[in-house]
Structure 1
Amino acid sequence: MVTRLRRHIDRHPRLVEAAFLLLIYAATSNQYRRVGDDTLWWPGFALAAVTCTSLLARRRRPAAVVVLTTLGTAVAGAQGSTFGPLLLLPVIVALYELTLQASQQTIRTYGLLVAVILVPTALRWDSEDEPWANEAVSLAFWILLPILHGLAVRARRAYMDTVRTRAEDAERTRYEEAQRRVTEERVRIARELHDVVAHHMALANAQAGTAAHLFSTHPAQTDRILTELTGATTAALRELEATVGLLRQPETAEESLTPAPGLDRLPDLVAAFAAAALHITTAVEGPVKPLSAGVDLTAFRIVQEALTNVAKHAAVNTAHVHLAYAQEQLTITVSNDSSPITPPRAPGGGFGLISMRERAQSAGGRFRAGRRPEGGFAVTAELPISA
């Protein structure tokens, strides 16, 4: 019932406003009787019509409406009408609307103005035999009531606005956080795809080139290299399928049980590059310590990408991998000697160093790369043992 009535009110606001003002007019005009007899003060009906009609402008000009209704009520009281709540209805409504809109100073000023006009009028012309103190207190109560209620409604609205603003901010923050996570995930997947594709394609290219070079002179060795090339491409397809498969998993799907590659696969990586005629020396300094899964994957991908860059961009057949374990840090250095010739620039490059730097920083480490003073190129990554 209440919901239906509220829906009807929302659909017909002007009709509700008209009914509201007619009720106020009926209640107010009925008070224009002289105290002590049943004689009606007929001009009071016109005065009531003016004061009630002025309430239509209470939202646009609340201060002017307060003054007009107060003066009309004072005139009615001066003609002998009783200063009760029904006679004061237009003033109460006008003061309530003023409280909702005006500043604190304006509310105090007009509240005091209403009291200054109505209290002396009531004490001077109200002919009921009531003590003046009771009369003043009663009138002050009806003046303060709409002001206090308006302040309470205003505070409630401000509180609800604050709650709504906080909810909108929280929703916007959640959306921005979701967007940030989506962007980070896209970068992670792009980096993983780049590392997988770049490594295996560079390795396959090197193996194919070596096989073409040895085809006429060493057919047996060529056959072995082509067999290993098949294995390299198969591994590339398998890793690509596993990486792209992450995009198709539902949000509630469990993570793949296939372990991520780590430094324990470094011998397999060295053997794969050896098949492409790239000789790799490895050295480990310090006691080997277990790494967290994220750091282990980062270390392997950095070594893999660094060796891929050597195979693609350096005209040498030797590279060096150095792993130095300290108390809280693993330092990875991948270097190659200088080449007597300048190799042609490989097409499609440019993201290898960026990928390695992003991986090192995402694991909480540091990365640097550059030419060595003695010749050649070196990349160094410093990673925390556990992250």
Structure 2
Amino acid sequence: MGASAKWERDSVVKDWGLAAVVAVIQLVGSSGANSHQTGVRSLDAFAYLLLLVGPVALGLRRVLPEPVLAVTLIATVTYVLRDYGYGPIFLSLVIAFLSAAVTGSRWRTYPVVVIGYLTMVWPVPALLGRHSDAWQIFGLLAWMGVLVAIAEGVRQRHAVVLARTQRAEAAQRDEQAQQARAASEERLAIARELHDVLAHSLSLINVQSSVALELFDRKPQQAAAALATIKTTSKEALAEVHTLLHAIRSGTAVPEYPEHSVVSENSVVVEDSPPPPRPAPRAPAPTLDDLDTLLERTRATGLVVDTKIIGTPKKLPSVIDVAAARIIQEALTNVVRHAPGASALITLRYTTETVDITVDNTRSTAMAARTGIGGNGIIGMRERAHALGGALTAGPRPSGGFRVAARLPARAATSAADARSSSSGRGHRGEVGA
């Protein structure tokens, strides 16, 4: 506000300073011009008043440009029609016209030129019996055309400057919005990574602790084995969290999604967009090569897990490989938490264009109680699949139990159109997940 107030004060000083200069020029110059013209009325008090009206009005030209133009036009026309002769009185009218024409409406300002020509040059002076030579008729007409051209040029220049300013402000707002989106996406990716790191391990710990409590008195050896599993799992989870925190602090992380793509909150891959300033930190992520290790930890909870591979296994891009392992890990975590006593079957089907993942589990045993509460596991799995141009469905099987089925591309997405078309299948967030 201080800078704005200072600018307003400076503008007022400049306007009234210009008004004072114009007043001096009109008073002194008109006196000299009147004395050197023949057949004109000598300047009197009313003439000097008319010479001062225009300059005084110019002091308000920024605040009331069009009224100032009207006042100066009336004063100038009155001066000329009273036959005081021509002189510098036109200076205030020219300045008032330029001030109003640049900022005001063309329909209200440009006709002033026509009115001024008709009343002060031709034909009104001729009708009043005043002599008008060809220089006045055509010369002043040309100068008035130049005056309109100057006003239009200044007006266009101001429009260009305003457009540039608006574009710069829009670009700044867009940059700020992109930074906000990047920060939001980074927080979302960090939250997803923390979920991936902790949910599986904590679910195993929860199940094993329940087993240990139940068998502590009757079968101490099995309880000890469960506690050993808890110790190993918690140690591994703690190491993963430490690694993730180190990656967050150092910023030396590898982005989860394909290079030159930004994953928005709507899970759309935007190709050829600049990557976020700081990619989302990641801890070392499992892949399908680590599937046996993942299954060992899950089987330690007592869950029976079988695998079935259809087709020839092949090396997948790292981002797809990680996503496939995470989906399997999350699906098994859901089985451990929500279907205790059930068994699971993992089916991997390799084709030329896709890798299909299916995780089926049977019904929970009648004696087992369902553990855990709903969360974001299915949501996270679906977002992973959609972000890579794939699809994922999850829901109860007609024969009982639950099925998670994902189809991922065998190659990283190469076009934004592919990712956008795949993202249209994103489901509702009403399912129960880890």
Scaled by the length of structure 2, what TM-score is found?
0.76
Query: Residues 122, 138 of structure 1: CA spacing in aligned structure 2 closer, same or farther, 3 A cutoff?
Result: farther
1:330 to 332, 355, 367: 355
Moved more, 295-304 or 150-159: 150-159
Against the structure 1 CA distance between its residues 248 and 94, is the aligned structure 2 distance closer, same or farther, given a 3 Å change threshold? same
The answer for the alignment partner of 1:83 in structure 2 is 86
Q: Distance in 1 between matches of 2:288 and 2:41?
A: 107
**Alignment-derived partner of residue 401 in structure 2:** 376
Spell out, residue by residue over 1:306-335, the C-alpha distance to the aligned partner (whole angstroms, 9 max, x if none): 111111111325211110111111111111
Please name the residue that 1:4 is paired with: none
Q: How many angstroms apart in 2 are the aligned matches of 1:192 and 1:175? A: 25
Cα distance in 1, alignment partners of residues 324 and 8 from structure 2: 65
Cα distance in 2 between the residues matched to 1:152 and 1:270: 76
Note the alpha carbon deviations across 1:199-253, whole angstroms, 9 max, x for none. Answer: 1011123333444555567655555544343221111111112223333234888
Tell me the equivalent position of 1:46. 49
2:172: which partner in 1?
A: 171
C-alpha distance in 2 between matches for 1:282 and 1:34: 113
**Residues 350 and 257 (structure 1), Cα distance of their counterparts in 2 relative to 1, 3 Å cut:** closer
Q: CA deviation at 1:23?
A: 1.6
CA distance in 2 between counterparts of 1:376 and 1:175 reads 47
* Residue of structure 1 in register with 2:137 after alignment: 136
Structure 1 210/172 Cα, relative in aligned 2: closer, same or farther at 3 Å?
Answer: same
Are residues 224 and 105 of structure 1, via their aligned partners in 2, closer, same or farther at CA, if it must alter by over 3 Å?
Answer: same
* Aligned residue in 1 for 2:297: 272
Q: Partners in 2 of 1:312 and 1:368 — Cα distance?
A: 19
CA displacement 1:281-317 (0-9 Å, x = unmatched)? 1111111122112111111111111111111111325
Q: Which residue of 1 aligns with 2:76?
A: 73
Change (3 A) 1:51 1:256: closer
Q: Which residue in 2 is equivalent to 1:152?
A: 153
Looking at structure 2, the residues matched to 348 and 244 of structure 1 have their Cα atoms a distance apart, in angstroms, of 26
- Summarize deviations over 1:30-49 as a string: whole Å, max 9, x none: 22323357996233322212
Contact 1:82 1:126 in 2 (8 A): no
Alignment partner, residue 3 of structure 1: none
Q: How does 1:190-269 map to 2 (within 5 A)?
A: 190-212=191-213, 223-250=224-251, 259-269=284-294
Q: CA separation in 2, counterparts of 1:262 and 1:150? A: 70
Pick the aligned partner of 2:14 from 13, 16, 34.
16
SS in 2 for 1:277: coil
CA contact (8 A) 2:244 2:281 kept: no
Give CA-to-partner distance per residue, 1:337-386, whole Å, 9 cap, x none.
Answer: 22341743323432222222222222221111112222221111111112
Match of 1:282 in 2: 307
How far apart are residue 126 of structure 1 and its match? 7.4
Q: Which residue pairs with 2:339 in the alignment?
A: 314
Q: Find out whether 1:112 has 2:114 as its counterpart.
A: yes
Root-mean-square deviation (CA), in Å? 3.2
Q: Closer, same or farther in 2 for the Cα pair 1:372/1:8, shift >3 Å?
A: closer
Report deviation, 1:136. Answer: 2.2
Cα displacement (A) at 1:173: 1.4
The range that moved more, 200-209 or 35-44, is 35-44
Contact 2:81 2:120 in 1 (8 A): no
State the aligned residue count: 377
Q: Tell me the distance in 2 between the aligned counterparts of 1:69 and 1:23.
A: 16
- Counterpart contact for 1:270–1:280, Cα < 8 Å: yes
Secondary structure of the residue aligned to 1:49 is helix
Q: % of aligned pairs identical?
A: 30
Q: Secondary structure at the match of 2:358?
A: strand
Q: Distance in 1 between matches of 2:312 and 2:216?
A: 44
Compare CA radii of gyration and give the structure with the larger one.
Answer: 1
Structure 1 unaligned runs (5+)?
1-6
User: How far apart, CA to CA, are the structure 1 residues paired with 2:52 and 2:61?
Assistant: 15
Q: Determine which structure has the larger helix proportion and give its number.
A: 1
C-alpha separation in 2, matches of 1:67 and 1:10? 24
The answer (yes or no) to whether the contact 2:198–2:237 under 8 Å persists in 1 is yes
Cross-structure match for 2:391:
366
Q: Does the C-alpha gap of structure 1 residues 24 and 281 become closer, same or farther in structure 2, counting only changes over 3 Å?
A: same
- SS of 2:392's equivalent? strand
User: What is aligned with 2:188?
Assistant: 187
What is the aligned partner in structure 1 of residue 25 from structure 2? 27
Contact 2:363 2:401 in 1 (8 A): yes
Deviates more, 1:367-376 or 1:60-69: 60-69
Partner of 2:380: 355
1:69-108, CA deviations, whole angstroms, 9 ceiling, x for partnerless residues? 3343344445665535x23112111211221233222233
Aligned 8 A contact 1:292 1:386 in 2: yes
Contact 2:317 2:410 (C-alpha < 8 Å) held by counterparts: yes
Q: Is the 8 A contact 1:70 1:117 kept in 2?
A: no
Asked whether 1:55 is paired with 2:58, we answer yes
Deviates more, 1:106-115 or 1:263-272: 106-115
> Helix, strand or coil: the match of 2:16?
helix
Q: What letter matches 2:101 in structure 1?
A: T
Counterparts of 2:82 and 2:214, CA distance in 1: 121
- Residues 100 and 297 from structure 1, CA distance in 2 versus in 1: closer, same or farther, beyond 3 angstroms? same
Alignment check: 8 A CA contact 2:356 2:405 kept? yes
